[in-house]
Amino acid sequence: MINRESFQNPAANPRTAAAERALPETASSSVQLVQLEATLQSEIRTGLPNWKRSFAFGARLVSAVFAVIGLTVVLVSCTPLVRWWGYRLAGHWTDPRGDILIMLAGSEGPASMIGYDTYLRTEYALRSYRQDEFRTVLVSGGGPGTPVAVTMRDFLICNGVPSSAILTETASMSTRENALLTERMLRGIPGRKVLLTSDYHMYRAYRAFRKTGLDVTPRPFPDVIKRAGSWGGRWPAFLDLVIETAKIIYYEYRSWI
């Protein structure tokens, strides 16, 4: 039986009153759910807490480093990358003749001895002098003790090159100084100048000499290109190429080449 008073006055209906009292609680619960959902979405967007995000970033960074190392190992060990790189730095490959052969010093060995790359440069200079009859050999390179150019000159003399045919520049400590001081020594001296150095060094050396105004013709010889043919020499050659490329970038930045 319908209670007319309850129908006309909903507040008098106990069920209706209870439902109305529950409405604020339901609304409050809905608001809390919305806030919780917003919080979850925010956490999803922002990710993990700071220390966890740092750990995840570190893990990704380590993975990327190992990936780069693995790719480098594959490229150096299984592709002609080192040989190609050496040819790129050597430039156009010729054995030009001339009047003055300019030879640049490389590393210095122990007890005032010449290093391996310096030995190669001296050996190829000796061959060039004998084969192509250069009139003069100019040796350029200083050092903290006995200048490298002096040791290279002694090597040439011991192998039959007359001391009168050798000029030495002993103050330079870099490729740029090689170029600057050699240009001063040869200024006004006629004849074709030929620059001899390692294949991977020729790009920087040739441009450094041209920057001083000294006209030279490049004559690279195979160094890293030969070492790239063996497993034992490939990685040292790769490291030499990386170091030389960094020097090229620096010389470019300083406008020395």
Instruction: Tell me the percentage of the chain whose pLDDT exceeds 90.
Output: 58
**How wide is the angle at C-alpha 14 spanned by C-alphas 10 and 19, nearest 5°?**
80
Phi and psi torsions of 229, nearest 5°: -80, -10
The confidence band for 19, taking pLDDT boundaries of 50, 70 and 90, is: very low
Which run of H or E residues covers position 60?
Answer: helix 50-78
Tell me which architecture the domain covering 83-253 has in CATH.
3-Layer(aba) Sandwich (3.40)
pLDDT tens-digit series, residues 86-139: 999 999 888 899 999 999 998 887 777 888 899 999 999 999 999 998 999 999
Give 109-115's long-range contacts (Cβ < 8 A, gap of 24+).
Answer: 112/143, 112/145, 112/146, 112/151, 113/151, 114/148, 114/151, 114/152, 114/155
Of the candidates 89, 96, 105, 86, the residue with the CA atom closest to the CA atom of residue 128: 96
pLDDT in tens, 60-74: 777 777 677 777 777
